[in-house]
Amino acid sequence: MVPINYWAVLVSAVAAMGLGYLWYGPLFGKQWISLMGWSRAEMEAKMKAGVGPQYLLQAIGALVMAYVLAHSIVFAGSFLQQSGVAAGLEAAMWSWLGFVVPVTLGTVLWDGKPWKLWFINAGYFLVTLLVMGAILGYWA
Number of domains in the chain: 1
pLDDT of residue 50: 81
pLDDT of residue 86: 92
Question: What sign does the dihedral 43-44-46-50 (CA atoms) show?
Answer: positive
Per-residue confidence at 85, pLDDT binned at 50, 70, 90? Answer: very high
- With beta carbons less than 8 A apart as the criterion, state whether 19 and 133 touch: no
Residue 87 lies in a domain: yes
Across the range 115-123, mean pLDDT stands at 98
Q: How far apart are CA 90 and CA 105, in angstroms?
A: 22
- Per cent of the chain over pLDDT 70 is 100
State the DSSP H helix or E strand holding residue 32, giving kind and residue range, or none if neither. helix 29-35
Residue 65 lies in a domain: yes
Q: Specify the pTM.
A: 0.92
Residue 69 lies in a domain: yes
The residues near 39 (Cβ < 8 Å, ≥ 6 apart) are 33
Residue 1 lies in a domain: no
Contacts 24+ apart (CB under 8 A), 96-99: 96/122, 96/125, 96/126, 96/129, 96/130
Across the range 62-70, mean pLDDT stands at 97
Q: 52-80 and 6-22 helices cross at what angle (nearest 10)?
A: 120
Domain with 115 in it: 6-139
Q: For 68-84, how does the pLDDT look when each residue is reduced to its tens digit (9 = 90+)?
A: 999 999 988 777 778 89
Q: How far apart are CA 6 and CA 39, in angstroms?
A: 40
